[in-house]
A = this chain, B = another copy of it.
Amino acid sequence: MRAVVALVLLASVASAAFPPIWPIPQTFTNGTQTVLLNPVNFAMTLSCADSHDLTAGFQRFLVNAFPHAASTPTGSSINTVSVCLTNSSVPLQLYASENYTLSVSLTEISISCYAVYGCYHALETLSQMTSFSFDTEQYSIKAAPWSIVDFPRFPHRGLLIDTSRHFLPVPTIKAIIDSVTYAKINTIHWHSVDAIAFPFDSPSYPLLGKLGAYSPEERFTVEDVADVVEYARRRGVRVMVELDTPGHSGSMCYGMPSICPVPMCTSSNINNWALDITKNETYTVVGGVLQDLSKLFPEQMTHLGGDEVDTYCWSVHPYIVDWLNARNLTLNGGYEYYVKRVQGIAWGLNRTVIGWQEIWDHFGTALDKRTIIHQWLPDSISLPLNVTSHGYRLVWSDSSVWYLDHLAVTWETMYQAEPCNGLPDANCGLILGGEGCQWGETVDTSDAQQTIWPRLAAIAERLWSPRSETSPQAAAARFEGFRCLLNHRGVAAAPSDNSIARQPPPQPGSCYDQ
Protein backbone atom coordinates (compact mmCIF):
# COMPACT_ATOMS: atom_id res chain seq x y z
CA MET A 1 0.00 0.00 0.00
CA ARG A 2 2.99 2.27 0.36
CA ALA A 3 3.11 3.12 -3.28
CA VAL A 4 -0.56 4.04 -3.39
CA VAL A 5 -0.02 6.49 -0.59
CA ALA A 6 2.95 7.89 -2.45
CA LEU A 7 0.91 8.39 -5.60
CA VAL A 8 -1.73 10.33 -3.73
CA LEU A 9 0.92 12.54 -2.17
CA LEU A 10 2.56 13.10 -5.53
CA ALA A 11 -0.66 14.22 -7.11
CA SER A 12 -1.03 16.92 -4.51
CA VAL A 13 2.58 17.99 -4.94
CA ALA A 14 2.24 18.17 -8.70
CA SER A 15 -0.86 20.36 -8.53
CA ALA A 16 0.97 22.78 -6.23
CA ALA A 17 3.85 23.27 -8.66
CA PHE A 18 2.49 26.40 -10.27
CA PRO A 19 3.57 28.07 -12.41
CA PRO A 20 5.73 25.26 -13.83
CA ILE A 21 8.58 27.69 -14.41
CA TRP A 22 11.91 28.06 -12.62
CA PRO A 23 12.97 30.79 -11.91
CA ILE A 24 9.52 32.28 -11.51
CA PRO A 25 8.88 35.13 -13.99
CA GLN A 26 8.72 38.74 -12.91
CA THR A 27 5.11 39.08 -14.00
CA PHE A 28 2.59 36.74 -15.55
CA THR A 29 -1.11 36.24 -15.98
CA ASN A 30 -2.81 33.01 -16.93
CA GLY A 31 -6.16 31.42 -17.52
CA THR A 32 -7.77 28.00 -17.18
CA GLN A 33 -7.69 26.51 -20.67
CA THR A 34 -5.46 23.78 -22.08
CA VAL A 35 -4.03 24.29 -25.56
CA LEU A 36 -2.62 21.36 -27.49
CA LEU A 37 0.71 21.53 -29.26
CA ASN A 38 1.55 19.58 -32.37
CA PRO A 39 5.28 18.80 -32.22
CA VAL A 40 5.35 17.51 -35.79
CA ASN A 41 7.04 20.18 -37.87
CA PHE A 42 6.86 22.53 -34.91
CA ALA A 43 8.50 25.64 -36.25
CA MET A 44 9.65 29.12 -35.39
CA THR A 45 8.77 32.07 -37.58
CA LEU A 46 11.45 34.64 -36.91
CA SER A 47 10.77 38.23 -37.79
CA CYS A 48 12.15 41.72 -37.09
CA ALA A 49 15.77 40.50 -37.25
CA ASP A 50 17.38 37.25 -38.36
CA SER A 51 19.71 35.18 -36.21
CA HIS A 52 21.50 31.92 -36.91
CA ASP A 53 22.18 31.61 -33.18
CA LEU A 54 18.50 31.84 -32.33
CA THR A 55 17.65 29.27 -34.99
CA ALA A 56 20.12 26.91 -33.34
CA GLY A 57 18.63 27.75 -29.96
CA PHE A 58 15.21 26.81 -31.30
CA GLN A 59 16.55 23.38 -32.26
CA ARG A 60 17.71 22.89 -28.66
CA PHE A 61 14.26 24.02 -27.53
CA LEU A 62 12.63 21.30 -29.60
CA VAL A 63 14.74 18.62 -27.91
CA ASN A 64 13.90 19.88 -24.44
CA ALA A 65 10.23 20.66 -25.03
CA PHE A 66 9.35 17.49 -26.92
CA PRO A 67 11.38 14.62 -25.47
CA HIS A 68 8.83 11.94 -26.39
CA ALA A 69 7.31 10.91 -29.67
CA ALA A 70 3.70 12.07 -29.70
CA SER A 71 0.48 11.33 -31.46
CA THR A 72 -0.97 14.00 -33.71
CA PRO A 73 -3.68 16.02 -32.01
CA THR A 74 -7.06 15.55 -33.66
CA GLY A 75 -8.51 18.91 -32.61
CA SER A 76 -7.02 22.35 -32.98
CA SER A 77 -3.40 22.70 -31.94
CA ILE A 78 -0.45 25.04 -32.22
CA ASN A 79 2.70 24.15 -34.11
CA THR A 80 4.35 27.55 -34.53
CA VAL A 81 6.13 30.06 -32.35
CA SER A 82 6.22 33.60 -33.70
CA VAL A 83 9.33 35.39 -32.58
CA CYS A 84 10.24 39.04 -33.02
CA LEU A 85 13.91 39.69 -32.31
CA THR A 86 14.71 43.39 -32.36
CA ASN A 87 18.50 43.43 -32.52
CA SER A 88 20.52 40.41 -33.54
CA SER A 89 23.92 41.96 -32.89
CA VAL A 90 23.91 42.82 -29.20
CA PRO A 91 27.27 41.82 -27.75
CA LEU A 92 27.13 39.33 -24.89
CA GLN A 93 28.34 41.48 -22.01
CA LEU A 94 27.15 42.55 -18.59
CA TYR A 95 23.84 44.44 -18.98
CA ALA A 96 23.06 42.91 -22.37
CA SER A 97 19.27 42.75 -22.50
CA GLU A 98 17.73 39.49 -21.35
CA ASN A 99 14.15 40.76 -21.29
CA TYR A 100 11.42 38.91 -23.10
CA THR A 101 7.67 38.65 -23.45
CA LEU A 102 5.88 35.39 -24.05
CA SER A 103 2.21 35.07 -24.79
CA VAL A 104 0.29 31.86 -25.30
CA SER A 105 -3.23 32.48 -26.53
CA LEU A 106 -5.61 29.67 -27.37
CA THR A 107 -4.43 29.77 -30.97
CA GLU A 108 -0.87 31.08 -31.08
CA ILE A 109 2.41 31.51 -29.26
CA SER A 110 4.36 34.76 -29.55
CA ILE A 111 7.71 35.82 -28.21
CA SER A 112 9.45 39.14 -28.37
CA CYS A 113 12.90 40.10 -27.21
CA TYR A 114 15.35 42.91 -27.80
CA ALA A 115 18.45 40.72 -27.87
CA VAL A 116 18.76 37.04 -28.64
CA TYR A 117 19.53 36.32 -24.97
CA GLY A 118 16.02 37.22 -23.98
CA CYS A 119 14.63 34.93 -26.64
CA TYR A 120 16.75 32.05 -25.33
CA HIS A 121 15.13 32.63 -21.95
CA ALA A 122 11.68 32.81 -23.51
CA LEU A 123 12.19 29.46 -25.21
CA GLU A 124 13.44 27.96 -21.97
CA THR A 125 10.32 29.20 -20.20
CA LEU A 126 8.13 27.83 -22.98
CA SER A 127 9.82 24.43 -22.79
CA GLN A 128 9.12 24.26 -19.06
CA MET A 129 5.46 25.17 -19.63
CA THR A 130 5.07 22.38 -22.18
CA SER A 131 3.81 19.20 -20.58
CA PHE A 132 3.44 15.72 -22.00
CA SER A 133 0.60 13.39 -21.13
CA PHE A 134 1.63 9.76 -21.15
CA ASP A 135 -2.03 8.81 -21.30
CA THR A 136 -2.90 10.70 -24.47
CA GLU A 137 0.67 10.96 -25.78
CA GLN A 138 0.02 14.62 -26.49
CA TYR A 139 1.76 17.85 -25.59
CA SER A 140 -0.11 20.76 -24.14
CA ILE A 141 0.22 24.02 -22.29
CA LYS A 142 -2.09 24.20 -19.33
CA ALA A 143 -3.65 27.23 -17.63
CA ALA A 144 -3.70 29.20 -20.88
CA PRO A 145 -3.93 31.92 -22.01
CA TRP A 146 -0.60 33.14 -20.67
CA SER A 147 1.00 36.54 -20.79
CA ILE A 148 4.50 36.75 -19.39
CA VAL A 149 6.68 39.84 -19.15
CA ASP A 150 9.99 38.76 -17.75
CA PHE A 151 13.43 40.16 -17.06
CA PRO A 152 16.22 39.51 -14.57
CA ARG A 153 16.47 41.27 -11.26
CA PHE A 154 20.31 41.26 -11.46
CA PRO A 155 22.47 41.31 -14.60
CA HIS A 156 25.23 39.03 -13.23
CA ARG A 157 23.99 35.55 -12.25
CA GLY A 158 26.90 33.21 -12.07
CA LEU A 159 28.36 29.83 -11.28
CA LEU A 160 32.01 29.60 -10.30
CA ILE A 161 33.81 26.49 -11.50
CA ASP A 162 37.33 25.62 -10.39
CA THR A 163 39.56 23.76 -12.83
CA SER A 164 42.65 23.84 -10.67
CA ARG A 165 41.84 21.76 -7.60
CA HIS A 166 40.56 19.21 -10.08
CA PHE A 167 40.75 19.42 -13.84
CA LEU A 168 37.37 19.59 -15.57
CA PRO A 169 37.45 18.35 -19.17
CA VAL A 170 35.76 20.37 -21.91
CA PRO A 171 32.77 17.98 -22.27
CA THR A 172 32.14 18.33 -18.53
CA ILE A 173 32.22 22.12 -18.76
CA LYS A 174 29.93 22.11 -21.79
CA ALA A 175 27.40 19.94 -19.96
CA ILE A 176 27.50 22.41 -17.08
CA ILE A 177 26.91 25.28 -19.50
CA ASP A 178 23.92 23.49 -20.98
CA SER A 179 22.49 22.93 -17.54
CA VAL A 180 22.85 26.47 -16.22
CA THR A 181 20.79 27.83 -19.09
CA TYR A 182 17.83 25.84 -17.75
CA ALA A 183 17.86 28.09 -14.66
CA LYS A 184 18.65 31.31 -16.58
CA ILE A 185 22.09 31.54 -14.97
CA ASN A 186 24.01 33.72 -17.42
CA THR A 187 27.65 33.56 -16.32
CA ILE A 188 30.35 30.95 -15.80
CA HIS A 189 33.07 32.35 -13.57
CA TRP A 190 35.99 30.23 -14.70
CA HIS A 191 38.46 30.02 -11.83
CA SER A 192 40.90 28.55 -14.28
CA VAL A 193 44.13 28.22 -12.34
CA ASP A 194 45.16 28.25 -8.71
CA ALA A 195 48.05 27.39 -6.42
CA ILE A 196 47.83 23.63 -6.87
CA ALA A 197 47.73 23.37 -10.66
CA PHE A 198 47.93 25.57 -13.75
CA PRO A 199 46.02 23.76 -16.50
CA PHE A 200 45.98 26.63 -19.04
CA ASP A 201 48.41 26.47 -21.96
CA SER A 202 49.38 30.11 -22.23
CA PRO A 203 50.84 30.86 -25.66
CA SER A 204 53.07 33.52 -24.13
CA TYR A 205 54.43 31.27 -21.41
CA PRO A 206 53.90 27.65 -22.44
CA LEU A 207 55.96 26.32 -19.54
CA LEU A 208 53.22 27.42 -17.13
CA GLY A 209 50.85 24.72 -18.35
CA LYS A 210 53.49 22.23 -19.32
CA LEU A 211 55.01 22.14 -15.85
CA GLY A 212 52.14 23.45 -13.77
CA ALA A 213 49.38 21.04 -14.76
CA TYR A 214 48.67 17.87 -12.80
CA SER A 215 49.58 15.70 -15.77
CA PRO A 216 50.36 16.05 -19.46
CA GLU A 217 46.70 15.40 -20.28
CA GLU A 218 44.94 17.67 -17.79
CA ARG A 219 45.38 20.93 -19.67
CA PHE A 220 43.44 23.37 -21.83
CA THR A 221 44.73 24.45 -25.21
CA VAL A 222 43.77 27.92 -26.40
CA GLU A 223 41.47 26.20 -28.88
CA ASP A 224 39.80 24.32 -26.01
CA VAL A 225 39.19 27.60 -24.23
CA ALA A 226 37.87 29.25 -27.38
CA ASP A 227 35.61 26.25 -27.93
CA VAL A 228 34.13 26.59 -24.44
CA VAL A 229 33.66 30.34 -24.80
CA GLU A 230 31.92 30.03 -28.16
CA TYR A 231 29.75 27.16 -26.94
CA ALA A 232 28.65 29.34 -24.04
CA ARG A 233 28.13 32.42 -26.22
CA ARG A 234 25.76 30.55 -28.49
CA ARG A 235 23.68 29.81 -25.38
CA GLY A 236 23.80 33.33 -23.97
CA VAL A 237 26.28 32.44 -21.24
CA ARG A 238 29.14 34.83 -20.50
CA VAL A 239 32.43 33.24 -19.48
CA MET A 240 34.41 35.39 -17.06
CA VAL A 241 37.93 34.13 -16.51
CA GLU A 242 39.87 34.51 -13.30
CA LEU A 243 43.64 34.76 -12.98
CA ASP A 244 44.09 34.90 -9.22
CA THR A 245 47.36 36.58 -8.15
CA PRO A 246 49.59 37.30 -6.25
CA GLY A 247 48.33 34.54 -3.92
CA HIS A 248 46.65 31.39 -5.21
CA SER A 249 49.27 31.29 -7.92
CA GLY A 250 52.07 29.08 -6.57
CA SER A 251 51.57 26.69 -9.50
CA MET A 252 53.11 29.34 -11.76
CA CYS A 253 56.38 28.76 -9.94
CA TYR A 254 56.84 25.35 -11.58
CA GLY A 255 56.97 26.78 -15.05
CA MET A 256 58.31 30.26 -14.21
CA PRO A 257 60.34 29.98 -11.00
CA SER A 258 61.89 33.36 -11.66
CA ILE A 259 58.66 35.18 -10.71
CA CYS A 260 58.57 33.53 -7.29
CA PRO A 261 60.59 34.34 -4.18
CA VAL A 262 63.71 32.18 -3.88
CA PRO A 263 63.35 30.13 -1.84
CA MET A 264 59.58 30.07 -2.21
CA CYS A 265 58.01 31.61 0.87
CA THR A 266 55.86 28.69 1.89
CA SER A 267 53.20 28.75 4.56
CA SER A 268 50.85 26.13 5.91
CA ASN A 269 48.26 26.98 3.27
CA ILE A 270 49.58 26.55 -0.26
CA ASN A 271 46.83 28.91 -1.48
CA ASN A 272 48.50 31.81 0.26
CA TRP A 273 51.99 31.53 -1.20
CA ALA A 274 52.64 34.79 -3.02
CA LEU A 275 54.50 35.71 -6.17
CA ASP A 276 57.63 37.86 -6.07
CA ILE A 277 56.26 41.39 -6.31
CA THR A 278 59.72 42.94 -6.63
CA LYS A 279 60.56 41.77 -10.12
CA ASN A 280 59.43 43.38 -13.33
CA GLU A 281 59.30 39.92 -14.84
CA THR A 282 56.44 39.03 -12.52
CA TYR A 283 54.33 41.79 -14.07
CA THR A 284 55.52 40.88 -17.53
CA VAL A 285 54.46 37.26 -17.11
CA VAL A 286 51.14 38.00 -15.40
CA GLY A 287 50.48 40.66 -18.02
CA GLY A 288 51.34 38.24 -20.79
CA VAL A 289 48.91 35.66 -19.48
CA LEU A 290 46.26 38.35 -19.11
CA GLN A 291 46.86 39.33 -22.69
CA ASP A 292 46.49 35.70 -23.79
CA LEU A 293 43.24 35.53 -21.86
CA SER A 294 41.93 38.82 -23.17
CA LYS A 295 42.28 37.46 -26.70
CA LEU A 296 40.30 34.36 -25.77
CA PHE A 297 37.57 35.86 -23.60
CA PRO A 298 35.34 38.47 -25.23
CA GLU A 299 33.77 38.96 -21.79
CA GLN A 300 35.15 42.24 -20.49
CA MET A 301 34.77 41.38 -16.82
CA THR A 302 38.02 39.76 -15.79
CA HIS A 303 38.61 38.48 -12.30
CA LEU A 304 42.03 39.25 -10.85
CA GLY A 305 41.54 37.41 -7.56
CA GLY A 306 43.74 39.11 -5.03
CA ASP A 307 42.50 37.11 -2.05
CA GLU A 308 44.23 35.36 0.83
CA VAL A 309 47.70 36.77 0.23
CA ASP A 310 50.26 35.82 2.88
CA THR A 311 52.32 39.03 2.97
CA TYR A 312 54.24 37.79 5.98
CA CYS A 313 56.31 35.47 3.86
CA TRP A 314 57.73 38.43 1.93
CA SER A 315 59.19 39.72 5.19
CA VAL A 316 61.55 36.76 5.56
CA HIS A 317 63.35 37.65 2.32
CA PRO A 318 65.84 40.46 2.88
CA TYR A 319 65.81 41.41 -0.82
CA ILE A 320 62.05 41.88 -0.73
CA VAL A 321 62.26 43.87 2.49
CA ASP A 322 64.93 46.04 0.90
CA TRP A 323 62.75 46.57 -2.17
CA LEU A 324 59.79 47.60 0.03
CA ASN A 325 61.96 49.89 2.15
CA ALA A 326 63.40 51.56 -0.92
CA ARG A 327 59.82 52.49 -1.91
CA ASN A 328 58.74 53.34 1.60
CA LEU A 329 56.17 50.53 1.47
CA THR A 330 54.85 48.33 4.25
CA LEU A 331 54.03 44.70 3.54
CA ASN A 332 50.45 45.80 2.96
CA GLY A 333 51.73 48.57 0.75
CA GLY A 334 53.59 46.04 -1.35
CA TYR A 335 50.38 44.06 -1.74
CA GLU A 336 48.56 47.25 -2.80
CA TYR A 337 51.33 48.11 -5.25
CA TYR A 338 50.97 44.71 -6.86
CA VAL A 339 47.19 44.79 -7.09
CA LYS A 340 47.08 48.24 -8.61
CA ARG A 341 49.87 47.55 -11.09
CA VAL A 342 48.14 44.40 -12.35
CA GLN A 343 44.77 46.16 -12.43
CA GLY A 344 46.45 48.75 -14.61
CA ILE A 345 47.63 46.08 -17.00
CA ALA A 346 44.08 44.73 -17.22
CA TRP A 347 42.58 48.15 -17.87
CA GLY A 348 45.19 48.59 -20.57
CA LEU A 349 43.70 45.50 -22.18
CA ASN A 350 40.24 47.07 -22.00
CA ARG A 351 39.12 44.69 -19.26
CA THR A 352 36.59 45.41 -16.53
CA VAL A 353 38.31 44.46 -13.31
CA ILE A 354 36.78 42.49 -10.46
CA GLY A 355 38.60 41.13 -7.40
CA TRP A 356 37.86 39.29 -4.19
CA GLN A 357 36.86 41.38 -1.23
CA GLU A 358 40.29 41.32 0.44
CA ILE A 359 41.38 44.08 -1.90
CA TRP A 360 38.58 46.23 -0.49
CA ASP A 361 39.31 45.09 3.06
CA HIS A 362 42.94 46.16 2.64
CA PHE A 363 42.76 49.16 0.37
CA GLY A 364 39.15 50.37 0.41
CA THR A 365 38.59 53.63 -1.38
CA ALA A 366 42.22 53.69 -2.46
CA LEU A 367 41.00 51.37 -5.22
CA ASP A 368 39.98 52.81 -8.55
CA LYS A 369 36.21 53.29 -8.69
CA ARG A 370 36.01 51.00 -11.68
CA THR A 371 36.98 48.06 -9.48
CA ILE A 372 34.17 45.57 -8.80
CA ILE A 373 34.32 43.92 -5.39
CA HIS A 374 33.47 40.22 -5.07
CA GLN A 375 32.26 39.47 -1.57
CA TRP A 376 32.83 35.99 -0.22
CA LEU A 377 33.56 36.20 3.51
CA PRO A 378 30.61 35.10 5.61
CA ASP A 379 28.42 37.15 7.89
CA SER A 380 29.67 40.41 6.44
CA ILE A 381 26.37 42.19 5.99
CA SER A 382 28.11 45.49 6.46
CA LEU A 383 30.44 45.01 3.50
CA PRO A 384 27.90 45.49 0.70
CA LEU A 385 26.62 48.62 2.43
CA ASN A 386 30.14 49.95 2.82
CA VAL A 387 31.25 49.14 -0.72
CA THR A 388 28.13 50.45 -2.42
CA SER A 389 27.90 53.52 -0.23
CA HIS A 390 31.25 54.51 -1.68
CA GLY A 391 29.91 53.99 -5.18
CA TYR A 392 31.63 50.71 -5.95
CA ARG A 393 29.85 47.80 -7.54
CA LEU A 394 29.67 44.41 -5.88
CA VAL A 395 29.09 40.74 -6.76
CA TRP A 396 27.78 38.69 -3.87
CA SER A 397 28.87 35.13 -2.99
CA ASP A 398 28.63 35.04 0.81
CA SER A 399 30.33 31.75 1.63
CA SER A 400 28.03 31.00 4.54
CA VAL A 401 25.14 30.62 2.11
CA TRP A 402 26.26 30.48 -1.55
CA TYR A 403 29.28 28.16 -1.60
CA LEU A 404 28.06 25.04 -3.37
CA ASP A 405 30.88 22.93 -1.99
CA HIS A 406 29.61 23.70 1.51
CA LEU A 407 27.49 20.59 1.51
CA ALA A 408 25.53 21.20 4.70
CA VAL A 409 23.95 24.39 3.37
CA THR A 410 20.44 23.51 2.23
CA TRP A 411 18.67 24.89 -0.80
CA GLU A 412 16.24 26.61 1.52
CA THR A 413 19.10 28.56 3.09
CA MET A 414 20.50 29.43 -0.32
CA TYR A 415 17.04 30.54 -1.43
CA GLN A 416 16.48 32.85 1.51
CA ALA A 417 19.85 34.57 1.18
CA GLU A 418 19.45 38.13 -0.10
CA PRO A 419 22.33 40.14 -1.59
CA CYS A 420 20.54 43.43 -0.87
CA ASN A 421 19.78 42.58 2.71
CA GLY A 422 19.96 45.81 4.74
CA LEU A 423 20.73 47.99 1.73
CA PRO A 424 18.84 51.09 0.63
CA ASP A 425 17.50 50.75 -2.91
CA ALA A 426 20.18 53.03 -4.33
CA ASN A 427 22.88 50.80 -2.91
CA CYS A 428 21.11 47.68 -4.13
CA GLY A 429 21.39 49.13 -7.61
CA LEU A 430 25.16 48.73 -7.34
CA ILE A 431 24.85 45.01 -6.60
CA LEU A 432 25.50 43.40 -9.97
CA GLY A 433 24.26 40.06 -8.77
CA GLY A 434 25.95 37.04 -7.36
CA GLU A 435 27.43 33.63 -7.93
CA GLY A 436 27.14 30.17 -6.53
CA CYS A 437 30.71 29.06 -6.00
CA GLN A 438 31.72 25.48 -6.59
CA TRP A 439 35.27 25.25 -5.31
CA GLY A 440 36.94 22.13 -6.56
CA GLU A 441 38.74 20.55 -3.63
CA THR A 442 36.32 17.61 -3.65
CA VAL A 443 34.75 18.19 -7.05
CA ASP A 444 35.79 16.58 -10.30
CA THR A 445 33.91 15.23 -13.30
CA SER A 446 32.46 12.49 -11.10
CA ASP A 447 30.46 14.79 -8.84
CA ALA A 448 30.32 18.24 -10.44
CA GLN A 449 26.69 18.19 -11.55
CA GLN A 450 25.23 16.88 -8.30
CA THR A 451 27.26 19.39 -6.28
CA ILE A 452 25.89 22.19 -8.43
CA TRP A 453 22.31 20.93 -8.73
CA PRO A 454 19.69 21.40 -7.54
CA ARG A 455 20.97 24.05 -5.13
CA LEU A 456 22.23 26.46 -7.78
CA ALA A 457 18.58 26.73 -8.85
CA ALA A 458 17.77 28.36 -5.51
CA ILE A 459 20.43 30.99 -6.18
CA ALA A 460 19.21 31.39 -9.76
CA GLU A 461 15.69 32.26 -8.63
CA ARG A 462 17.01 34.67 -6.00
CA LEU A 463 18.99 36.49 -8.72
CA TRP A 464 16.32 36.47 -11.42
CA SER A 465 12.91 36.67 -9.77
CA PRO A 466 11.13 39.36 -7.73
CA ARG A 467 12.67 40.01 -4.36
CA SER A 468 9.30 39.24 -2.80
CA GLU A 469 9.68 35.54 -3.58
CA THR A 470 11.26 34.60 -0.28
CA SER A 471 9.43 31.50 0.91
CA PRO A 472 11.07 28.11 0.38
CA GLN A 473 7.78 26.54 1.40
CA ALA A 474 5.94 28.34 -1.38
CA ALA A 475 8.69 27.42 -3.85
CA ALA A 476 9.18 23.80 -2.75
CA ALA A 477 6.90 22.07 -5.24
CA ARG A 478 8.32 24.09 -8.14
CA PHE A 479 11.83 23.39 -6.88
CA GLU A 480 11.21 19.64 -6.73
CA GLY A 481 9.68 19.81 -10.18
CA PHE A 482 12.72 21.64 -11.51
CA ARG A 483 15.01 19.00 -10.06
CA CYS A 484 12.99 16.33 -11.91
CA LEU A 485 13.16 18.41 -15.07
CA LEU A 486 16.95 18.49 -14.76
CA ASN A 487 17.00 14.70 -14.32
CA HIS A 488 14.68 14.24 -17.28
CA ARG A 489 17.14 16.18 -19.41
CA GLY A 490 19.95 13.94 -18.17
CA VAL A 491 21.43 16.36 -15.63
CA ALA A 492 22.63 14.56 -12.49
CA ALA A 493 20.82 16.83 -10.04
CA ALA A 494 20.80 15.33 -6.56
CA PRO A 495 17.64 14.78 -4.51
CA SER A 496 15.99 18.03 -3.37
CA ASP A 497 15.39 16.75 0.15
CA ASN A 498 19.06 16.10 0.91
CA SER A 499 20.22 17.70 4.12
CA ILE A 500 23.78 17.08 2.90
CA ALA A 501 24.19 17.93 -0.76
CA ARG A 502 25.06 15.42 -3.50
CA GLN A 503 24.10 12.43 -1.35
CA PRO A 504 22.43 9.52 -3.15
CA PRO A 505 18.69 9.03 -2.76
CA PRO A 506 18.17 7.17 0.52
CA GLN A 507 15.60 4.66 -0.72
CA PRO A 508 13.41 3.87 -3.73
CA GLY A 509 11.08 6.64 -4.75
CA SER A 510 9.99 9.31 -7.19
CA CYS A 511 12.21 12.24 -8.14
CA TYR A 512 9.28 14.45 -7.10
CA ASP A 513 9.30 12.93 -3.66
CA GLN A 514 13.00 12.96 -2.76
Interface residues of A (CB under 8 A from B): 1-4, 6-7, 10, 14, 67-69, 132-135, 137, 164-167, 169-172, 174-175, 196-197, 201, 206, 209-219, 221, 223-224, 227, 251, 254, 266, 270, 440-451, 484, 487-495, 502, 504-514
Report B-chain residues with C-beta under 8 Å of the C-beta of A511: 166-167, 214-215, 218, 444-445
Report B-chain residues with C-beta under 8 Å of the C-beta of A68: 221, 223-224
Residue of chain B at shortest CB distance from A508: B165
In the A-B complex, list the 4 residue pairs whose CB atoms are closest, starting with the nearest: A171-B490, A214-B510, A69-B223, A165-B508
A sample of 5 cross-chain residue pairs with beta-carbon separation below 8 angstroms, ordered by A number, consists of A134-B217, A169-B488, A214-B509, A217-B488, A447-B504
The smallest C-beta distance from A509 to any residue of chain B, in angstroms, reads: 7
Do A508 and B166 touch (CB < 8 A)? yes
Complex Cα gap A30–B468 (Å)? 68
Do B492 and A445 touch (CB < 8 A)? yes
Do B505 and A166 touch (CB < 8 A)? yes
Do B210 and A487 touch (CB < 8 A)? no
Report B-chain residues with C-beta under 8 Å of the C-beta of A219: 134
Do B445 and A221 touch (CB < 8 A)? no
Complex Cα gap A68–B69 (Å)? 35
Q: For A214, give its contact among B6, B223, B227, B489 (CB under 8 Å).
A: B6
Residue of chain B at shortest CB distance from A199: B134
Complex Cα gap A201–B71 (Å)? 15
Q: Given known contacts A69-B227, A251-B3, is B512 in contact with A172 (CB within 8 Å)?
A: no
The smallest C-beta distance from A103 to any residue of chain B, in angstroms, reads: 26
Do B4 and A508 touch (CB < 8 A)? no
Complex Cα gap A135–B447 (Å)? 29
The smallest C-beta distance from A28 to any residue of chain B, in angstroms, reads: 22
Q: Given known contacts A223-B68, A511-B218, is B506 in contact with A442 (CB within 8 Å)?
A: yes
Do A512 and B221 touch (CB < 8 A)? no
Do A197 and B3 touch (CB < 8 A)? yes
Q: For A218, give its contact among B137, B197, B510 (CB under 8 Å).
A: B510
The smallest C-beta distance from A445 to any residue of chain B, in angstroms, reads: 4
Complex Cα gap A505–B214 (Å)? 15
Do B443 and A504 touch (CB < 8 A)? yes
Do A196 and B508 touch (CB < 8 A)? yes
The smallest C-beta distance from A417 to any residue of chain B, in angstroms, reads: 23
